[in-house]
Amino acid sequence: MQRNTTRRLFLAALSALTLAACDQIGGAAKPAFRGVDLSGASYARQLSLPDQDGKPRSLADFKGKVVVVFFGYTQCPDVCPTTLAELAQVKKSLGADGERVQGVFITVDPERDTPELLKPYMTSFDPSFVALRGNAEQLKDAAREFKVYYAKVPGKTPESYTMDHTAASFIFDTQGRVRVFARYGAGAQALADDIKLLLNERS
């Protein structure tokens, strides 16, 4: 009886050690992201919108790069410029590896965010950043795919409205798979840490 109990305990311990080893061997250990780990998520898998030049874009265009996607609008007073500025800071801090990071901004205000406005707006943060602008239906489809919220908030005049929207970024690995949900306010260092993990990850 005691021998059987000892044997069961030994086998249970051995099984636990084997499982732990499987998580570590061959690069199978899960990366310790600072943001929310979205690896294997069933959403945010597709993206197809025209850029600021009217050229159709998809995630496949950026394969080989870590892509950071953010939904916002140019007249946003705080969240959007802060997020883009942090991403530009991170890209610059990575030196040569920064060339393997792509910022993608999707406007939730296509009514006011014209191509003529989007181009200089993106350049003011980083010339390599891309802005995507679809029509109302295309934007709705993209937001549904990413499970992103956005809504117009009326202002004092019809033109002075603001936009409520999800304040977070989606980070994709070099194979175009969504991996991290980076909440607004986590800071540039947290964003940099997660991007570095993905840049150094084996495909």
186, burial (CB in 10 Å: exposed 0-12, middle 13-18, buried 19+):
middle
Half-sphere exposure of 193 (CA within 13 A, CB side): 12
Bridge-based pairing state of the strands 178-183 and 168-172: antiparallel
Sign of CA dihedral 26, 32, 70, 93: negative
Task: Determine if residue 165 is labeled as part of a ligand binding site.
Answer: yes
Q: Among 46, 38, 42, which residue's Cα sits nearest to residue 134?
A: 46
Residue whose pair of structure tokens reads 């117009």 in the numeric block: 152
Q: How many Cβ atoms from other residues are within 10 Å of residue 24's Cβ?
A: 9
Q: Among 28, 27, 36, which residue's Cα sits nearest to residue 190?
A: 36
The whole-angstrom separation of Cα 201 and Cα 126 is 25
Task: Determine if residue 76 is labeled as part of a ligand binding site.
Answer: yes
Bridge-based pairing state of the strands 178-183 and 101-107: unpaired
Binding-site residues for Cu cation sit at 76, 80, 165
